[in-house]
Amino acid sequence: MSYRHACLLLSFLALASGAQAQVYRCPGPPVLYTDALTPKEAQEKGCRSIDGTPITVLQSPKPRAAAPASGAATPARSGNAEGRVDPAQQKGRDDERRRVLEAELRDSETRLAELQREYQGGQPERRGDERNFQKYLDRVAELKANIARQEADIQALKREISKLP
């Protein structure tokens, strides 16, 4: 039983105890709070009455936001209450991100040019290891899929670059 469930059960039982129901706390993992026992059964199980015992309900703290997935350190904050990043530092981050994206774009465009050169408009040269025509067709299909994937990657990189300030 989780802590939250135990608190809710205690709250419910506290309300029920006002209706003259005897509530017992029974030992053991998990600790059990119940009003379904007779006094004799409660004594046999080692349960204690919580009648007259003040019940405290604690609200659990809100979970923290997840850490950044990139594994980067916590961003440096300026002294303001909103927790905003220093504008100069943010500009540096944006510039670095632009440089990385542009480098990836250049690499993707180079790879696309190589694939298109090898594909030769759907008629690539047959290799010596492709005596079986099906192997040739499989390679052509793979080249075509790789070209489509590179084109999609290039479009995605261009979209990301256009979003940067």
Within 33-130, residue ranges assigned H as helices are 39-45, 87-119
Q: What is the pLDDT along the chain (165 residues), one digit of tens a residue?
A: 555 555 555 555 555 444 456 787 888 777 777 778 888 888 888 888 876 666 666 677 777 776 555 555 555 544 555 678 899 999 999 999 999 999 999 999 999 999 999 999 888 988 888 888 999 999 999 999 999 999 999 999 999 999 988
Q: How far, in Å, are 71, 73, 128, 156 from residue 68 at the CA level?
A: 6, 8, 49, 22
Tell me the HSE value of 164 on the side-chain side, using a 13 A CA sphere. 17
Written as one letter, the residue type at 35 is D
Residue 34 pairs with which residues in a beta bridge? 24
By C-alpha distance, which of 100, 120, 11, 117 is closest to 57?
A: 11
